Amino acid sequence: MNQTVSSIRGRTARVLGLSPDSGAVEYESEWTSWAALASAATSIEAHLSQAGVGPHSPVGWVARNRPAAVAVFVALLLAGRPIAPLRPNQSPSGFCDEIRIQRLQAVIGDDQDWGIDGVVGAAREAGSAGIRISGAASFTVDLVDGLTAIGPGPHRPDAPGMVIERLSSGTTGPPKRIPVSADVLLPALRSAEAAASGMERPLTLKGSPGIILSPFTHAGGIFRLLLSIYQARPMVLFDRFTVDAWADAVRRHKPKSANLVPAMIRMILASDLPRGALASLKAVHSSTAPLDVQTQVEFEARFGVPVLIDYGAAEFIGGVAGWSLSDHTRFAHLKRGSVGRPRPDVQMRVVDAQNGNSMDVGQTGQLELKCPRFARELVRTTDLASLDADGFLYIHGRVDDAINRGGFKVLPDDVVAVLRQFPGVGDAAVVGVPDERLGQVPLAVIEAQGERPDVEALKAFARERLAAYQVPVEFRFVNALPRTTTMKVSRPELKAMLGL
């Protein structure tokens, strides 16, 4: 077996043996022990072998933020089996289609998953064995009736060396499946450990749990689950974010840091949460989507907690750039809007998308990255970026989101950042719509906060702060913008809503 795969297996086994009776996962105020996870893992592996599932065949992991899903994840890590996440938080028909398309030898889910209309039939059509896991504080594992052995297939090819497939966010289209090998994953986990503490520490059970808000179907949620296991850190799981429940978890567990996506930060600011509620926090890390400067400044002023922006390109797992506390102390007032500096093992440059030539400091182009964790050669991302003289990175949107308005490039994130500053705008999104004369023009969709803003006043506000070609030609209002599971605006759903 691949050496690094064995290392992940060995690390997971060591973590489970540190303090078996201690709490590993808290969900809805109930704790699951490390011993319960280990016992479930043994049973799951026995059922996979009984069903005839090959040792290198990807196994479908129904990825819910619940203790049962953590137990399945641990079982597959311990056995060195490749993990293929499945997304239960989509429509029943979409979930069934995903099971059919993936053609996995086995699918493992809980009672709710197997109770979804059509799932058993979809697994049967795919030739998948079915394993059900029930419980939280302790687990029972059994084979699903009618799915007790793998079917004739054809099944997906074996994937030796792969630990997990990470899923892209699905913000711009159907999520892409990107295999992550142990050779990539272990350095990413070590880098994250070093970034958090300045070094990789000896393996001991951590006293302060990590609060996991991102769904396991998203790369950020998967990585935080992996990192919690790697660090032997207990975890507090949420399958839905609410300000009150999150603040209560912070009060009870007193973590030193927290991870929040921008939409969550805005929800906290809109609440009546007092400053002292976050007294234990030394920093809040924000990633996944752009955080506008005004929101960052307002949060820091209200709660006295620095917001450290992290950046991870869609092509990779683990962070590639970010803010440290020392950089925030020194540069926060000078570098607002930056996503920080490259990690020590990351090289980056900004190039002209047409000819590949490097751009000068401060110029916007397409971002390329090189890192031994990911690739030996420079890899071009889909992000538009610039680098300043101190090496701070600024992200200006995605190449495929840019709107070409008669030869002028409009970056939606730049326009949204201005619109969010207007009173009564809770959030906004900007998309390009066809125009006979100019090719494309920007249209703004506004999610109002309270009373709907006056359109003419909003237009005047935009004209004062944007170039003429950046100002949307139309403003539409919606009760709520469509969002992905990570609370980012879903551009495919937004365009469908607009009939584009």
pLDDT tens over the chain, length 500 residues: 444 555 889 999 999 999 999 999 999 999 999 999 999 999 999 999 999 999 999 999 999 999 999 999 999 999 999 999 999 988 899 899 999 999 999 999 999 999 999 999 999 999 999 999 999 889 999 999 999 999 998 999 999 989 999 887 655 556 778 888 888 888 778 877 766 555 556 789 998 899 999 889 888 889 899 999 999 999 999 988 999 999 999 999 999 999 998 889 989 999 999 999 999 999 999 987 778 898 999 999 999 999 999 998 655 677 789 999 999 999 999 999 999 999 888 899 999 988 889 999 999 999 999 887 776 788 888 888 999 999 999 998 777 788 888 777 788 888 998 999 999 999 999 999 988 888 889 999 999 988 899 999 999 999 999 988 899 999 999 999 998 877 888 888 898 888 87
Q: 3-state SS of 321-383?
A: EECCHHHHHHHCCCCCCCCEEECCCCEEEEECCCCCCECCCCCCEEEEEEECCCEEEEEEEEE
Q: Quote the pTM value.
A: 0.80
CA 453 to CA 435: how far, in whole Å?
26
| Six token digits for residue 148 | 């007790």
Residues 6+ apart with CB under 8 A from 249: 211, 236, 238
Residue 54: CB atoms within 10 A of its CB come to 15
Local structure of 167: helix, strand or coil: strand
Bond preceding residue 154 cis, omega within 30 of 0: yes
| Six token digits for residue 333 | 């007032």
Q: Which residue has the tokens 């309270």?
A: 450
Structural domains in the chain, sorted by start:
3-185 (3.40.50.980), 402-498 (3.30.300.30)
CA 152 to CA 441: how far, in whole Å?
52
